[in-house]
Amino acid sequence: MYKFLLSLHSGFRYIVLVLTVLALVQSLVGLFGKKKYTETNRKINLFTLISAHTQLLIGLVLYFYSPFVNYGNMGAAMKDTTTRYWTVEHLAMMIFAIILITIGHSRSKKAIDALNKHRAIALYYGLAILIILLAVYQSSRPILGMS
């Protein structure tokens, strides 16, 4: 079960990364090009939100199967950098990134004009992608390649 969940979680990250980068690029083009906020923009932003939340759910299930997580003895987990990373840091960073995506999507929906819609996505999804990339980098697992 663990290997399946790990493969699913590792593979699904590409969908999240591609959609987040696509949403970010679209929003920057819309923001700096003063473009209209289109139905395509809305759908890409929504699919990014959905994929990030799906990845979170897969990750939460994986969390309880992972041999690298030690939630039963947090004192010991905090003393070992690898165990601490997988038990606390990765989870916290990813939840924070998904919160940013959720806030960005919500603010974009509530904004009235296209400029503010694009700005919300650019700001929040941009910060989220930075956190996601940092978390993946810290895991010592390559972004482009299954391990």
Over residues 13-35, the pLDDT tens digits come to 899 999 999 999 999 999 999 99
Residue 40: predicted pLDDT: 94
Residue 88 has pLDDT above 60, yes or no: yes
CA dihedral 102, 115, 39, 53 (to 10 degrees): -10
Helix 90-110 with 114-138: angle, nearest 10 deg: 170
SS3 of the chain: helix, strand, coil, percent, to 5: 80, 0, 20
Q: Which one is predicted more confidently, 81 or 100?
A: 100
Residue 57 has pLDDT above 80, yes or no: yes
Q: Confidence band (pLDDT; 50, 70, 90) for 147?
A: very low
